[in-house]
Structure 1
Amino acid sequence: MKLYSLPKVTFLFIAISTLLSCNNDEKSNNTTPAAQLLGVWQSSNFSEMYDYKLYFNTKDEGYSTEYIAQPDGTAISNLRPFSWSSSETTLTIDYEDGASDATPFAINAAGQLLASGLSNLPFNKL
């Protein structure tokens, strides 16, 4: 059996080590806050009696929906369009009816949206 020369073995070791040390660090959390918000978020306290959702669409537009069942079997629901923007830690929502909310926000380790100015409870992404 022929032994490899020291320079060849060293080069092979360095090449394999370099390839194996590459990872997906760039993919870990390289998304912008706006990209993380895109989609539908449902309040974590939803039930068949109550539901509150936020819809963050592209083009910085969206809407919220709320459904409240009444004891008499009727229900109240609303749809509230808004435009939105975000920075690293602040979500700003400007409703079509003239109201505005600027609230700190974060996505926690469980993937839930925390926005204290909108709700004390987290939102789950659907």
Structure 2
Amino acid sequence: MKLYSLTKVTFLFIAMSALLSCNNDEKNNNTDSTKSLLGVWQRSDFSEEYDYKLYFNTEGNGYSTEYIAQPGGTAISNFRPFNWSSSETTLTLDYEDGATDATPFTINAAGQLLASGLGNVPFNKL
């Protein structure tokens, strides 16, 4: 009877160890891509007439800001909060207005964020 219990406990220990180690691998991969996105990113084509920024916070939330100068000295600005998540290659932005943007993303050798769903212009980290 004791041999049966020892075998059962050993099997349970090995199974739990295997499950926990797989889960940690997934979290580490996601954490690396998440850490690389944290902070403020500005479109590289910004000017006095146009500016677009993405703000990624550690709690999985953030916002985008957009500024467009108009003729006559007026301007249009936009503030759009979102919740965000990332996998190894996909960035997902869930906006508070109900829209969702899931786009492939990479960070190139120059350290620029490339996200085709957000336009063909790279973002520079500030």
Deviations 1:65-122 (CA, angstroms, capped at 9, x unpaired): 0000001110000100000000000000000000000000000000000000011100
The one-letter code matched in structure 2 to 1:42 is Q
Name the residue aligned to 2:80.
80
User: In percent, how many aligned pairs have the same letter?
Assistant: 80
> What is the aligned residue count?
96
- TM-score normalised over the length of structure 2: 0.75
Task: Tell me the distance in 2 between the aligned counterparts of 1:119 and 1:112.
Answer: 13
Name the residue aligned to 1:58.
58
Q: Which has the higher helix share?
A: 2
Deviations 1:2-27 (CA, angstroms, capped at 9, x unpaired): xxxxxxxxxxxxxxxxxxxxxxxxxx
Larger Rg: 1
- TM-score normalised over the length of structure 1: 0.75
Q: Which runs of 5+ in 1 are unaligned?
A: 1-30
Matched, 1:107 2:107: yes
Name the residue aligned to 2:119.
119
Runs of 4+ in 1 over 3 A off after TM superposition: none
Q: Which runs of 5+ in 2 are unaligned?
A: 1-30
CA RMSD of aligned residues (A): 0.7
